[in-house]
Amino acid sequence: MLNECIHVDDTSGGSWFFNDSGSVTYTRRFTVPGNYNNTAKIRETGQSPSA
């Protein structure tokens, strides 16, 4: 079955809803230097690329 829409949850606390296509841009401020991992996960499929 093909999903008409998907829900995407992000480890930074964001959650979004997409229909045919889309993108999200947001700003995150860090007060401590270092490397930070961020992962978005599609609820319907469990797919989870990281950036």
Residues 1-51: pLDDT tens digits?
576 889 999 988 899 999 888 888 888 888 999 988 888 899 999 998 755
Angle at 12 between CA 6 and CA 17, to 5 degrees: 20
Contact 5, 18 (CB under 8 A): yes
Which residues have C-beta within 8 Å of that of residue 34, sequence separation ≥ 6?
none
CA 35 to chain CA mean position, Å:
18
pLDDT of amino acid 51: 52
pTM higher than 0.85, yes or no?
no
First-to-last C-alpha distance (Å) of the chain: 28
